[in-house]
Chains A and B, each alone.
Chain A
């Protein structure tokens, strides 16, 4: 089945230790998104790629970076995680002609 895959599902890191979260898709969608979702809140868009074009949200901290080496993969890098970065991170995909986004299962990040 075509889908959005996120690895790992659970990630524990230490305060200040860089961490990378992974997203892959078999849908061949040209748009990929990263969201941060804190407890009992709606997802918050961090940035998205339209093909290779990177689009950062104005309020996304510099601590968060992203890479998209090819259509299928997209990475979220947190350079120096703080306690406030503990959250669920959701990857989603979409295609230009579509309205909805397709979400992966998420990665739960814990910062110790």
Chain B
């Protein structure tokens, strides 16, 4: 069975400092992994995805994530936080197949302090 664990429910950083949002997955086969971001009262926006190509994935807005099979991790990072990065972040694994059902982590709320 596939599952996703986001290790921190809340992360607070200062503007200009690095961001690290942690995610571990469990999958019986090679997964597709995603990070989505959700700003208040908005839908989910895809930040980046891993689909068995390069292990270091670059996304939008300066975010990137590294797929580490040995650690079953897919942590999201950004070198320098911006105020506009404050949002909820979801790590997601896909079943794949015809219907692409998603398994969501519980989310990490990122706060950025001025």
Contact = CB atoms under 8 A, between A and B. Distances in A.
Interface of A: 4, 6, 31, 40-43, 45, 48, 50, 55, 88, 90, 92, 94, 96, 98-106, 108
A43 B104 contact: yes
A99 B90 contact: no
B94 A100 contact: yes
Contacts of A48: 99, 101
Contacts of B45: 103
A45 to B, nearest CB: 7
A100 B94 CA distance: 8
7 contacts: A6-B43, A41-B107, A43-B44, A94-B99, A99-B94, A101-B100, A103-B44
Given A50-B99, A55-B99, A105-B43, A100 B104 contact: no
B48 to A, nearest CB: 10
Contact of B32 (A88, A99, A103): A99
B98 A103 contact: no
A32 to B, nearest CB: 10
B28 interface: no
Given A90-B43, A106-B42, 15 more contacts: A41-B106, A41-B107, A43-B44, A43-B90, A43-B104, A45-B102, A50-B98, A92-B44, A99-B32, A99-B94, A100-B34, A100-B100, A101-B100, A105-B43, A106-B43
B70 interface: no
Interface in B16-55: 32, 34, 36, 41-46, 49, 51
B43 A42 contact: no
A96 B43 contact: no
